[in-house]
């Protein structure tokens, strides 16, 4: 994420945006980018070199900063000796903030700030810009490089706002692709056949789902955090696209290229890992790379520097961390024949104005545009949810339990959405399965599975109210995974209990609830990097950015939950204590009135605390046995004295409370948890600050 130059111009006041505008400000990536020390230093260095080059040639340096955000790059340009600077920012609250930042640094009269889109800027005497700029500095990029409209913005600026000999910062970008075999990633894309413990197939995947290319939304991932051994590199990184930002003819809105690759290993091409780098100046002296650690050009130098500083970090974290530019995974059409080591094959890369996509083989299959979901599954379900559906250990625990508790007389009410396990129960010989499927797309997906697998004993319910009293009286078991697409935090799936409460008067007293209960757990941690997304800026490269801290903090009060959802497997952390049991919620009894629990955590090193991770464990029965528990938390139990990185389940997002203040940390942290069943909300309070 970068410039907000493509935001609507009408977001000029809180009255226009309300809560959504406050959230947009609180969640903006401006602060995250400003914490990216490498980005800042390399932009600064490129500005110094470029402006000095112009002055050495006897030219003035007139700078245009598109999407200025905080105003940081404009202030760097002034410090580097620019003769004039014009900055534009369309997102009005941030433009107002940039005005305050410029004033705080005494530059309000040296930078001309335009609160509008660059495409609305006029050039000429007495207009927005007195003259065309001969230096353009901007940061218009996202994980996919062009996903925020960089191509269109650059093309307009080159035609209307810049001189023919303009020097752009950055000067160019190169997109890299690496073909891999990665079963872990494929598990987030391609549904697998569901079998029981004996290997008997319960559900086959319909052909149209197998052939579907999936969602066209960019799949941004911290590739450096993929578990070791989870993928095989089939090629070296291949440069597929180069963008020269000062050359309008080079910035085509649609292109395709063909690269001949030699396989370094044998395997099935399943996915492409993508990243890009920026050549910051025309001379090519400054390079900024977004590569994962194994392909990063500065890896060895940064690793040595970390060792000399005695930094306690894994190899994957010695490269500069950033959350606004990650890497991306693109899935390839399935191939039935593997490539062989040393053999050549063709990689095809495509882009339009906003997206990239890839294919392997000689057939040109990509000119119809970016792949999109045709089966419905990738629309109805998230990638992490598809990963859950493919999780063999999770499925085994459910299916083993089903075999023990279901019989040919069982009537199972499934209060979950997109539950293939519910369909599996129908194939295991129960009398009937009632599937709650209120979402039309999800219901069509499930109907396709029913038809393809000839499942006869299934009835769909479009709403909970559709359950007839006569049918409800026959229910022997209520099952939920639980999963609801509207859930963001793990405990949002407690919606299962709310549905159950409303249906309970219709159900027999003897009905069995699966799961019978859920337990909330918390773990105090030291994140290596994640805390930066919530940390104040203060000063940045010698400039006072505190007005931006105040803006984000002000709007966070209205919008930010104390706990947010994050895929913690992507963000390494050390445990500072053992896990704490916060609250158990019983689905047969705990949805009538508010419930509260209190306790405390004892930290072994309070000063390292910068976050608290929270997750849910679902207990299929009352035993709480690991064999009947489904956890959205660590893959292995966390030892209280462990100095190993926590291993999180990669198919779930966990909750995380990021600690905002640092001094006088308590060694013992009192906590309070409240569960409001009426609102289906869980509230957390952690008292970690000393006096």
Confidence of residue 94 (pLDDT cuts 50, 70, 90): confident
For range 364-368, the mean pLDDT: 70
Q: How confident is the model at residue 24 (pLDDT cuts 50, 70, 90)?
A: low
Q: Which residues are catalytic, by number?
A: 139, 148
Average confidence score pLDDT of the chain = 91
| Domain architecture of the chain: domains with CATH | 20-172 (3.40.50.150), 173-375 (2.70.160.11), 383-511 (3.40.50.150), 517-528+572-686 (2.70.160.11)
* DSSP string of 536-558, one letter each residue: ---EETTEE-HHHHHHHHHHHHH
pLDDT at residue 434 above 70? yes
pLDDT of amino acid 557: 56
For 472-475, the CB contacts below 8 A with 24+ separation are 472/413, 472/503, 472/506, 472/507, 473/506, 473/507, 473/508, 474/411, 474/432, 475/411, 475/412, 475/413, 475/434, 475/507, 475/508, 475/511
Instruction: Kindly give, in sequence order, each residue whose CB lies less than 8 Å from that of residue 213, ignoring residues fewer than 6 positions away.
Output: 331, 333, 371, 372, 373, 374
Is residue 8 pLDDT above 50, yes or no? Answer: no
Lowest mean pLDDT of 186-200, 637-651, 658-672, name the range: 658-672
Per cent of the chain over pLDDT 70 is 92
Average pLDDT over residues 171-195: 97
Q: How far apart are CA 612 and CA 526, in angstroms?
A: 8
- d(Cα 495, Cα 679) in Å, to the nearest integer? 10
Q: Are strands 668-676 and 681-686 parallel, antiparallel or unpaired?
A: antiparallel
The pLDDT score that the predictor gives to residue 561 is 62
More confident residue, 22 or 536: 536
pLDDT at 519: 97
Where residue 666 falls among pLDDT bands split at 50, 70, 90?
confident
At residue 310 the predicted structure's pLDDT band, cuts being 50, 70 and 90, is low
pLDDT of residue 659: 87
* Residue ranges in 80-132 assigned as alpha helix (H): 92-104
Mean pLDDT of 72-76: 97
Summarised one tens digit per residue, pLDDT across range 512-530 is: 999 999 999 999 999 999 9
Average pLDDT, integer, range 111-129: 97
Average pLDDT on 109-133 reads 97
pLDDT reading at 475 higher than 90: yes
**Pairing, β 477-479 against β 512-514:** parallel
Query: How confident is the model at residue 547, as a pLDDT?
Result: 87
Q: For the chain, how long is the longest CA-to-CA vector?
A: 90
Q: For position 7, what pLDDT does the model report? A: 32
Res. 459: pLDDT tops 90 = yes
pLDDT, residue 441, reads 95
pLDDT one-digit tens code per residue, 534-547: 788 888 899 999 88
pLDDT in tens, 269-306: 999 999 999 999 999 999 999 999 999 999 999 888 88
Mean pLDDT within 450-474:
95
Residues 17-31 have a mean pLDDT of 52
The pLDDT of residue 663 is 57
Q: How far apart are CA 21 and CA 14, in angstroms?
A: 6
Name the band, by pLDDT with cuts 50, 70 and 90, for residue 683: very high
For residue 309, give the H/E element and its range. Answer: none
Measure the CA–CA gap between 172 and 175, rounded to whole angstroms. Answer: 10
Give mean pLDDT, residues 452-459.
Answer: 95
Taking the CB of residue 454, how many other CB atoms lie within 10 A of it?
Answer: 7
Fill in the DSSP letter of residue 634: B
Q: Write down the pLDDT at residue 268.
A: 96
Strand locations in 196-268 (E) = 201-203, 219-221, 232-233, 238-244, 255-262
* 43 vs 25: which has the higher pLDDT: 43
Q: Is the CB of residue 162 less than 8 Å from the CB of residue 137?
A: no
User: What does the alpha-carbon distance between residue 175 and residue 291 come to, in Å, rounded to a whole number?
Assistant: 10
Q: What is the pLDDT of residue 370?
A: 86
pTM of the predicted protein model:
0.93
* pLDDT, average across residues 378-384: 95
> In 3D, which of 223, 215, 227, 218 has the Cα closest to residue 189?
215
Residue 12 is predicted with a pLDDT of: 35
Give the pLDDT of residue 366. Answer: 64
Residue 197: predicted pLDDT:
83
Mean pLDDT computed over 577-606: 92
Q: Is residue 519 exposed (0-12), middle (13-18) or buried (19+ Cβ within 10 Å)?
A: middle
Of 645, 647, 620, 615, the C-alpha closest to 631 is 615
Q: What is the pLDDT of residue 533?
A: 84
pLDDT above 50 (res 5)? no
Which tens digit of pLDDT belongs to each residue from 217-270?
A: 899 999 999 998 999 999 999 999 999 999 999 999 999 999 999 999 999 999
Nearest alpha carbon to residue 223 among 329, 300, 143: 329
- Mean pLDDT, residues 385-395 taken together: 96
Q: What is the model's pLDDT at position 4?
A: 35
Which two three-digit tokens encode residue 80? 């580097």
Range of weakest confidence among 4-8, 47-51, 304-308, 400-404: 4-8
Which residues have C-beta within 8 Å of that of residue 627, sequence separation ≥ 6? Answer: 397, 400
């Amino acid at each position: 994420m970068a410039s907000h130059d493509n935001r609507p111009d009408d977001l000029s006041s809180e009255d226009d945006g309300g809560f959504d505008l406050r959230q947009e400000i609180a969640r903006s990536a401006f602060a995250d980018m400003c914490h990216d020390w490498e980005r800042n230093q390399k932009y600064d260095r490129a500005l110094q070199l470029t402006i000095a080059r112009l002055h050495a040639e006897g030219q003035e340096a007139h700078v245009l900063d598109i999407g200025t955000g905080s105003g940081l790059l404009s202030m760097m340009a002034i410090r580097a000796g620019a003769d004039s600077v014009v900055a534009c920012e369309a997102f009005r609250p941030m433009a107002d903030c940039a005005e305050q930042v410029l004033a705080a640094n005494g530059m309000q009269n040296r930078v001309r700030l335009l609160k509008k889109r660059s495409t609305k800027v006029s050039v000429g005497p007495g207009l927005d810009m007195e003259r065309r700029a001969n230096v353009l500095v901007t940061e218009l990029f996202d994980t996919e490089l062009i996903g925020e409209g960089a191509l269109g913005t650059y093309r307009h600026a080159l035609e209307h706002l810049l001189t023919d000999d303009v020097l752009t910062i950055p000067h160019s970008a190169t997109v890299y692709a690496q073909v891999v075999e990665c079963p872990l990633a494929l598990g987030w894309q391609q549904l697998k056949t569901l079998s029981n413990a004996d290997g008997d197939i319960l559900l086959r995947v319909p052909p149209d789902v197998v052939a579907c290319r999936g969602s066209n939304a960019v799949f941004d991932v911290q590739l450096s955090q993929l578990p070791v051994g989870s993928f095989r590199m089939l090629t070296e990184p291949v440069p597929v696209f180069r963008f020269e930002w000062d050359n309008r003819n080079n910035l085509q809105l649609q292109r395709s290229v063909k690269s001949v690759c030699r396989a370094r290993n044998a395997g099935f091409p399943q996915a492409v890992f993508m990243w890009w780098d920026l050549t910051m100046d025309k001379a090519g002296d400054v390079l900024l790379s977004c590569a994962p650690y194994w392909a990063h050009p500065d890896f060895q130098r940064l690793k040595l520097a970390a060792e000399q500083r005695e930094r306690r970090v894994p190899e994957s974290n010695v490269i500069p961390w950033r959350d606004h530019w990650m890497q991306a995974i693109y899935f390839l059409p399935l191939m039935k024949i593997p490539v062989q080591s040393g053999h050549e094959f063709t990689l095809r890369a495509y882009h339009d104005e906003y997206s990239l996509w890839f294919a392997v083989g000689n057939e040109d299959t990509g000119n119809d545009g970016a792949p999109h979901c045709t089966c419905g599954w990738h629309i109805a379900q998230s990638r992490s949810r598809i990963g859950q559906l493919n999780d063999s250990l999770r499925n085994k625990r459910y299916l083993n339990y089903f075999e023990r508790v279901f019989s040919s007389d069982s009537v199972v009410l499934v209060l979950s959405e997109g539950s293939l396990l519910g369909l599996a129960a129908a194939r295991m010989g129960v009398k009937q399965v009632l599937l709650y499927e209120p979402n039309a797309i999800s219901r069509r997906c499930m109907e396709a599975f029913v038809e393809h697998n000839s499942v006869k004993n299934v009835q769909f319910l479009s709403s909970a109210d559709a359950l007839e009293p006569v049918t409800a009286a026959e229910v022997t078991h209520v099952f939920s995974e639980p999963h609801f697409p509207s859930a963001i935090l793990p405990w949002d799936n407690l919606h299962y209990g709310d549905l159950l409460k409303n249906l309970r008067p219709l159900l027999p007293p003897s009905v069995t609830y699966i799961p019978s209960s859920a337990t909330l757990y918390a773990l105090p941690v030291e994140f290596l990097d994640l805390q930066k997304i919530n940390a104040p800026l203060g000063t940045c490269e010698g400039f006072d950015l505190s007005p931006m801290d105040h803006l984000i903090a002000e709007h966070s009060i209205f919008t930010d939950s104390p706990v947010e959802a994050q895929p913690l497997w992507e963000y390494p952390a050390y445990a500072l204590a053992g896990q704490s049991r916060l609250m158990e919620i019983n689905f047969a009894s705990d949805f009538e009135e508010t419930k509260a629990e209190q306790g405390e955590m004892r930290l072994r090193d309070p000063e390292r605390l910068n976050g608290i991770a929270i997750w849910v464990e679902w207990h299929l029965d009352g035993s709480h046995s690991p064999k009947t528990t489904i956890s959205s938390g660590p893959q292995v139990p966390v030892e209280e004295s462990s100095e190993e990185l926590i291993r999180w389940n990669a198919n779930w997002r966990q909750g995380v409370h990021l600690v905002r203040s640092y001094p006088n940390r308590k060694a013992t942290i009192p906590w309070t948890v409240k569960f409001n069943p009426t609102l289906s909300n869980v509230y957390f309070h952690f008292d970690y600050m000393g006096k």
